[in-house]
Amino acid sequence: MRVVVVGATGHIGSFLVPRLVRAGHEVVAMSRGTREPYVADPAWEQVERVTVDREAQDAAGTFPGRVLDARPDAVVDLVCFTEESAAQLVEGLRGRVAHHVHTGTVWVHGDSTVAPMDEDDDREAYGDYGVAKDAVERMLLAETRAGGLVSSVVHPGHISGPGWPCITPAGNLDLSVWQHLAAGEPLVLPGSGSELMHHVHADDVAALHERVLERRADAAGLAFHAVSPQAMTSRGLARAAAAWFGREAVLELVGWDGFAEVTAPEHVEASRAHLLRSHSASTRRGRDVLGFEPRWSSAETCRQAVRSLVDAGELDLGGARP
């Protein structure tokens, strides 16, 4: 196939584009051109790269034309965030492109009431981002059912891996969390420690996108979770991380008011967003419909992310390396 990947040099695209090249597809990588992929790969030498300002072209109504200029058989849209943007692209691709794959988020689920959640469970979306992604999904799948553009949706959990920070056991991006665990120092966690988070390696997200493209007939009109094989509790992730350094986690579990007293406000809000929903997402549909099994555990995904930060000089663990 000839595949256009929109947002190609971000977290997912950095792994997806080389995968598609190695699978024998022609790939057109669209991005703002402001950064290189997170992970270097010689496969990028075989990729046609197109610089495009998605936001400006959406505003001008010209983005679908830019995509069609690349003559795609399939389009993977990794950076669509509003129903209006998605609808504009659908209108342009309808009848001209065989398959459209949209990247959503597990935040289309609200506070969890079952574990693990299937794709259709608990659909009271969370926050502006989750609400917008839920609206996009509903529109795309209705379009497919009506006989229009064939779309599929992939909903990643907390994406991580080499090249960018990982959501910590405290549910935020505070790098000092890893420092406390590496040094064997007490770590304050909010809540009971049993709150769940569901990480996923960016390469597993990419691999699921690739499988959806390969199995178009099976994936048409469906959404799939992209998460690790198992969610982890905040306490469990902290213990796993401490073990990377030959330590035992020393944890102090406190209420949210107590957590706010010792934590910067931005980290408190991130922790609330990630922990209070306590998400565990099922991978059953991907396995049953597409034969897809994620490769990386949550703990190993975070370990790779932390190691990458240490190697890049962005995180000082006093000489320790996970």
Taking only the tens place, the pLDDT of each residue in 168-218 is: 999 999 999 999 999 999 999 999 999 999 999 999 999 999 999 999 999
Q: Which amino acid is at 267?
A: H
Could you list the beta-strand ranges (E) of 104-221.
151-156, 158-160, 187-190, 196-197, 199-201
Q: Can you give the pLDDT at residue 163?
A: 87
Is residue 107 within 8 Å of residue 126, measured between CB atoms? yes
Enumerate domains of the chain plus CATH numbers.
2-159+199-226 (3.40.50.720), 162-197+232-279+297-311 (no CATH)
Q: Can you give the pLDDT at residue 121?
A: 87
Q: Can you give the pLDDT at residue 219?
A: 98
- Segment 27-45, tens digit of pLDDT: 999 999 888 998 899 999 9
Lowest-confidence region among 7-11, 62-66, 105-109, 160-164: 160-164
Q: Can you give the pLDDT at residue 239?
A: 98
The count of other CB atoms within 10 Å of the CB of residue 261 is: 11
Q: How does residue 321 score in pLDDT terms, banded at 50, 70 and 90?
A: very high
Lowest-confidence region among 117-121, 144-148, 217-221, 224-228: 117-121
Residue 122 has pLDDT above 80, yes or no: no
Q: In percent, how much of the chain has pLDDT > 90?
A: 93
Residue 18 has pLDDT above 80, yes or no: yes
Q: Average pLDDT for residues 103-132, to the nearest whole number?
A: 91
3-state helix, strand, coil in the chain (%, to 5): 45, 15, 40
Q: Can you give the pLDDT at residue 79?
A: 97
Is residue 13 within 8 Å of residue 79, measured between CB atoms? no
Peptide bond into 116 cis (omega under 30): yes
Torsion sign over Cα 87, 90, 92, 94:
negative
Q: Can you give the pLDDT at residue 110?
A: 86
Is residue 225 within 8 Å of residue 155, measured between CB atoms? yes
Q: Average pLDDT for residues 41-59, to the nearest whole number?
A: 96
Q: How does residue 111 score in pLDDT terms, banded at 50, 70 and 90?
A: confident
- Segment 280-293, tens digit of pLDDT: 999 999 999 999 99
Residue 260 has pLDDT above 80, yes or no: yes
Q: In angstroms, rounded to a whole number, what is the distance separating the alpha carbons of residues 304 and 311?
A: 10
Q: Can you give the pLDDT at residue 205?
A: 98
Mean pLDDT score across all residues of the chain: 96
Q: Average pLDDT for residues 110-118, to the nearest whole number?
A: 91
Q: Can you give the pLDDT at residue 128?
A: 93
Q: Can you give the pLDDT at residue 178?
A: 98
Q: How far is CA 38 from CA 108, 140, 162, 203, in A?
A: 26, 29, 7, 11
Residue 269 has pLDDT above 80, yes or no: yes
C-alpha gyration radius of the chain:
20
Q: Average pLDDT for residues 90-98, to the nearest whole number?
A: 98
Q: Can you give the pLDDT at residue 224?
A: 98
Q: Can you give the pLDDT at residue 124?
A: 83
Nearest partner of 177 among 246, 267, 248, judged by Cα: 267
Q: Can you give the pLDDT at residue 35?
A: 84
